[in-house]
Amino acid sequence: MTKITLFAQIIQRLDRSIFIKLVKEHSTDKHNKGFDSWSYLISMILQPFVENAIKHGFANINYKGLIAINVVKKR
């Protein structure tokens, strides 16, 4: 059984083709450096989840560590 995360559920609700159409219509990709608008949108949606996980997951840790975040596109 595959577990679908909250983040995946949010992304599934976004219609990428409509988003891309709007981006082209308003020429919003012209100012992006290295990211397309879709990738930028995804990162902006992911940011609060990561921030919350760090804030609450590491609040009581008194030593240095390493946080690694991997984002994988499943086909």
Domains in the chain: boundaries:
7-57
Distance CA 53, CA 69 (A): 11
> At residue 21, what is the residue type?
K
The single-letter DSSP state of residue 31 is: G
For residue 74, name the pLDDT band (cuts at 50, 70, 90). low
Q: What is the pLDDT of residues 22-51, one digit of tens each?
A: 888 988 777 777 778 888 888 888 888 888
> What's residue 21's pLDDT?
92
